[in-house]
Amino acid sequence: MDRTDRRSQPPPDRYVRQRLFPPLGAEGDARLRGRRALIVGCGALGSHLATFLVRAGVGHVRLVDRDVVEWSNLHRQVEFTEEDAAQGLPKAAALANHLAQANSQVNIEPVVKDFNARSARGLAQGMEIYLDGSDNLPTRFLLNELSLAEKVPWVYGGAIGDEAHALLFVPGRGPCLRCVLPDLPQAGALATCDTAGVLGPAAGAAASFQAALALHCLARPEEGPELAGRWVRLRLWDLAAATTQVSADPECRTCGLGQLEFLDPAEGEGAVLLCGRGAVQVLPGAPKSAAGLDLAALADRLKPLGAVEWKGILLRFKPADHPATLTVFGDGRAIIERIEDLGQARALYDRYVGQ
């Protein structure tokens, strides 16, 4: 979404307050105009991250998200409105539309697509930093491996309950995520937004640290590596804070031994439970053609089987014989609500959308 045609030059006072911050200064502020950032996930973390980067004048911000706006998002996912939730708009598109009104000088590129092993390299092409706005560890492990493979820094963030976490990873300088968390925890071992909830300010706090780290790396790249591996943790309810320096593990299977397990396309297949949604995302069994899925033809095929709503970029279907609701996107993905069993979700997808 390129809005740079509205004005040839930004107003001279737009960025004056951040230019007055001595560590950034006029030189660092000017550098931001030519920088390119990728934000993976436009929910609680990603919506804050996008707001900070766009308003700071980072030249190109690519927003990647697979989901749509829900009513339960509104208490912590800034920029979204009740109208966005009522229409069930894709998060990346809705966020880009709102932020374009805040800064017409930034090229905001919304991508309504799943970030997985098949799509990650293409979605990250040309980007100079990756920011984690996701809500699951497999995506973060994938970002970690992509960062190492492409030699691009990335910023981890997390928010659960009243806790906020942030950590910068710079390839070749300090640890990677697998040095901190070697393996995926067993199911149920960690608290999730379903079990512990999320305090809205915790998401804002985590994203604030993430955005500050990203701006530091983009404006002063020679200084960014000095911040790598500093793990910031906050508890907002009782105002506790800690910073720990994490070291690289020479035996780390990813940065030490060079194993890229999650960047293998095989990891991008299947189905995944969406945090806090009571829903499952199902990916197509094989990549769709460059033209994508023909949603119009699918709508015609499904009309005899239930209620169909086709909005051009997505299709919603409520089967007459099942309580689930399927939201199908042009790339072949589907989010199936009112179901949490991965096998059942996959079966519904195969039944109504096809393999």
Sign of the dihedral through C-alpha 86, 88, 90, 92: positive
Strand ranges of the sheet holding 36-40, from the earlier edge strand across to the other edge: 107-112, 60-65, 36-40, 129-132, 154-160, 163-169, 230-235, 240-245
CA distance 174 to 246: 8
With beta carbons less than 8 A apart as the criterion, state whether 248 and 179 touch. Answer: yes
The answer to whether residue 193 is catalytic is yes
With beta carbons less than 8 A apart as the criterion, state whether 37 and 214 touch. Answer: yes
- Residues 6+ away with beta carbon under 8 Å from 171: 147, 148, 151, 152, 153, 255
Question: Which residue is catalytic, options 42, 176, 179, 193?
Answer: 193
Strand ranges of the sheet holding 334-337, from the earlier edge strand across to the other edge: 271-274, 279-282, 334-337, 325-329, 314-319, 306-310
Phi-psi region of 52 (alpha: psi -120 to 50; beta: other; left: phi over 0): alpha
CA distance 345 to 324: 9
Active site residues: 193
